[in-house]
Structure 1
Amino acid sequence: MDITPMIPSDRQVIDGFGPGQFCISGQWRVGAVVVLPDRTQAWAATDAASLTLDDFAPVLAAEPKVEILLLGTGPTMRMIPKELRKALRDQGVVVEPMDSRAVCRTYNVLLSEGRRVAAAMLPV
């Protein structure tokens, strides 16, 4: 089922992915990305194991505030340290780690529901 018609045209949607890249609103982007409802940007993160709170600065600075962060940890789901999850939660962001393919499937659904969602994805 194609839900993209239910998403306002000024919003960023995840159209697909390929080896090392993501298609966001019709534009292919190589490497890791942060997708916010109103923009997409390159993400300097390279490995889920080395993520710090600073890596999430674009998400934490977003207005309106992001409530749910879908964290794509690459080809397989990897957990992040409890301390990092807590630090994000303390800033009002619930982080949901999953493999990046799952993020591609989930982001548009939450966006279509009007949720304040962002995606931060490492490539598959």
Structure 2
Amino acid sequence: ARMSALTRVLSGGARALALRGPGRVSPVLTGRRYSSNPMEDFDLMGAGGSSVIDTYTERGFVVGGVEHRGSVFLYQDMTLLWKVKDIAEVTPASLTAAHALRPPPDLLIVGCGARIGALPRETAEFFSDGETAVEVLDTPNAVATYNILVQEGRSVAAAMILPRAEG
């Protein structure tokens, strides 16, 4: 059976910050590692200075206590506004920054909004060199997965599309 890129990256234990919908964060800790320094238990930046996504609202994402309006791109301690509103707009040009990162992340998680969707073919081909694996998830699950991997110190980037209100 073929393992997805996400399954390979998650093959270790898991520490998670799971989201329960917009604006509601529920901490879920499994396989917790205790340190000799009690202040390390309060490190919300994770390994290597990477910021976790605190939550998201109908306006944007809260990263490291700062609200960023609209969609965002994250890598290590960098958070950029990303002018993408729909999975169809995720083009090679919109992800040029992801392809140019040095060192390249092992995994790029694309949060595609309220529902999971497929990347446009040319975008999937853009990452076919195998340097960075790409995993597409709905944004709530993408946020939770990104936070797990950042907390574990993994090399991960995220491109998060803000879910639109349905109605």
TM above 0.5, one fold? yes
Change (3 A) 1:18 1:94: same
Asked whether the 8 Å contact 2:91–2:120 carries over to 1, the reply is no
Distance in 1 between the 2:47 and 2:152 partners? Answer: 11
**Hey, what does 1:16 align to over in structure 2?**
55
Matched pairs, number = 124
Asked whether the 8 Å contact 2:92–2:123 carries over to 1, the reply is yes
Alignment of 1:46-85 (within 5 A): 46-85=85-124
Distance in 2 between the 1:9 and 1:49 partners? Answer: 32
User: CA RMSD for the aligned pairs?
Assistant: 2.1
Distance in 2 between the 1:75 and 1:89 partners? Answer: 26
Any unmatched runs of 5+ in structure 1? none
Measured against aligned partners, the alpha-carbon deviations of 1:24-70 in whole angstroms (never above 9, x if no partner) come to 11111110100111210001222211321111112122222112111
**Hey, what does 1:88 align to over in structure 2?**
127
**Hey, what does 1:102 align to over in structure 2?**
141
Distance in 1 between the 2:154 and 2:121 partners? Answer: 24
Distance in 2 between the 1:108 and 1:50 partners? Answer: 24
Larger CA Rg, structure 1 vs 2: 2
Structure 2 SS opposite 1:90? coil
Change (3 A) 1:90 1:10: same
**Where do 4+ consecutive residues of structure 1 move more than 4 Å?**
none
Change (3 A) 1:28 1:9: farther
Distance in 1 between the 2:56 and 2:48 partners? Answer: 20
Distance in 1 between the 2:84 and 2:148 partners? Answer: 25
Counterpart of 2:153 (choices 97, 107, 114) is 114
TM-score under structure 2 normalisation? 0.67
Identify the structure with the greater helix proportion: 1
Any unmatched runs of 5+ in structure 2? 1-27, 33-41
**Quick one: which amino acid aligns to residue 64 of structure 2?**
S
Distance in 1 between the 2:118 and 2:140 partners? Answer: 15
> How far did 1:113 drift?
2.4
TM-score under structure 1 normalisation? 0.87
